[in-house]
Amino acid sequence: MNILLAMIPAFFWGTTYAVTQYTLADWPPLLLGAIRALPAGLLLLAFKPTLPKKGEWQILFSLGLINIATFFGLIFVMALTLPSAISGVGMISVPVFAMMYNWLINKNKPSLIQGVSGAALIALAWMLFDPSSISLNPIGLGAMLAAIMCIVVGSSITKSLGNRMHWWTVLTWQLILGGVILSIAAGVQAIKEPSTYASVIEHFSMTNLSGLLWVVGLNTALGYGMYVWLLQRMSVVDFTFGGIANPIAGIVTGLVLLGESFTPFQYSLMIGMIVMSLLPQAILAIRQNRPSPVECQQH
């Protein structure tokens, strides 16, 4: 049941790209990032007020800068420059980069199945992103690579906190601080490019409002709230299975909202990438649930 619940935030996160292109196509990424992060953080703070201790502000600022300000900005650059399906599927290559990061930085050598799945994932992505078969914006691809590294580095910092800080404080204040950083950056951009922001205000519509409510309310406040709530009740490995809803949401919403379509071969490559990203966790879960020889003898 928890895995089905884990699919809900993953699905909402996967809709970010298509919903943004469909409802907020002309909005600056910095402004979108600020609107997504700060109201959601303040909403969570109102729901359960917390205040970081004196020595915790620096690490929370770092998390807000990496996990929220930089990551959200990059996500909206991707949303406005890449097909929704490509963004959703491309982001599932995070485990490969996390594996390489842990190997190089923490000297944690990947297992055989992790190595094989990672290599297969890279090969499938290489074929899917082949310039001769699909035209992709290099700025969007660069933003995708940078966003993946934000996840890897930000997750490493978050994990290093361990029991030093309450998870709700980490969640709430990284959203607030990241949102403040993005708001300042958007303010500076508005001074330099006033016409862009004036156009947003002048042409504000119900379509824009519906997109903002989706991104702020469902995508961020509900999505992140369910994420941290579920991680208290299930393992990270189990939660990962719910992540299959993310690229599927990207593919489906891109098809429904934007009319994106790909060849059967390209769809097969996407499915292959999804399977390869889940394979190591699936094998690990099977091994963990397999009864030990002692238990078998007792039965």
Most confident of 39-43, 98-102, 188-192, 216-220: 188-192
Higher pLDDT, 1 or 223: 223
103-131 pLDDT, tens digit each = 887 777 878 888 888 888 888 888 888 77
Domain ranges within the chain, ordered by starting residue: 3-284
pLDDT of residue 135: 81
49-100 pLDDT, tens digit each = 999 988 889 999 999 999 899 999 999 999 999 998 888 888 877 777 877 8
Global pTM value: 0.82
User: How big is the chain, counted in residues?
Assistant: 299
pLDDT of residue 283: 80
